[in-house]
Amino acid sequence: MTFAAQVRARPKCAWLAAGLILLAYAALGNWLVLPGYRRFLAHGPSSAGDSGPDLALVWGASRTILWMLSFHLGAFCMAWAALQATGDRARTFRRGFAIGALVWIGLWTIPVLPGPYAAMFAGLGVVILLMIATVFGRAALTGEAFGDASRGPWRIASAFFFALATWDMCGLGSVGGILHPDAAARVTSQSLVVAQTSKLIVELAMAWALLALAALPARPARPGWAGR
């Protein structure tokens, strides 16, 4: 590898390393952070009546917030590293992906999403069905599995949202409380479960939509935009 190639590869490796560290923290947080978070939900802050800042609470809250965002930010870092590997032809695509991904991560932090939930699930379910039909129908008719090589950035973006949906599905069981048979626990976590499930189906719809776009025929490439 030439010196110039090594210089270009350093930012990609840094993003990849940051992503791996954040994903490791997301996994370790199940033992390092989640137990304390559950105790907080059950009993509240230990020094609610004391004056002045509760440093233990601030430290615990900071670790919890970082843990809750660690998978999403880690997946973003790794997706960004993968998109950087596609070169200058995907420069504009990368900007669009970064804006869209970070906007979604910001919206994801909202604890409760507005309804009506039944209409949202029904509408997004239809969208997902159409995208699934597009992906597999295109592959069946053309023999191209999810688009040609020029559509790689779209597949990377799709994999990013599939990764987020996979993680949120795990969250439904670990934090959402759906695995606990106690009815009181289910009632207490109902709003969290509804919000988490709503975010999950939005992420699945975006993932399938991006995969469907990757499966469509590529237009003549313009500088800076991958496969548009």
pLDDT digits (tens, 9 = 90+) for 69-96: 999 999 999 999 999 888 777 888 999 9
Question: Cα dist. 194→44, 145, 168, 190 in Å?
Answer: 22, 35, 12, 6
The span from the CA of 131 to the CA of 135, in Å, is 6
- Report residue 121 as tokens: 């699930």
pTM, 2 dp: 0.77
Confidence (pLDDT) at 11 = 77
Q: CA-to-CA distance for 149 and 162, rounded, in angstroms?
A: 20
Specify the pLDDT at position 174: 62
For 122-161, the pLDDT digits (tens) are: 899 999 999 999 888 888 887 776 666 678 889 999 999 9
Q: Which of 47-61, 99-113, 163-177, 205-219 has the lowest mean pLDDT?
A: 47-61
**pLDDT attached to residue 97:** 95
Distances (CA, A) of 10 to 84, 92, 97, 152: 11, 20, 21, 21
- Where do the domains of the chain lie? 1-85, 88-228
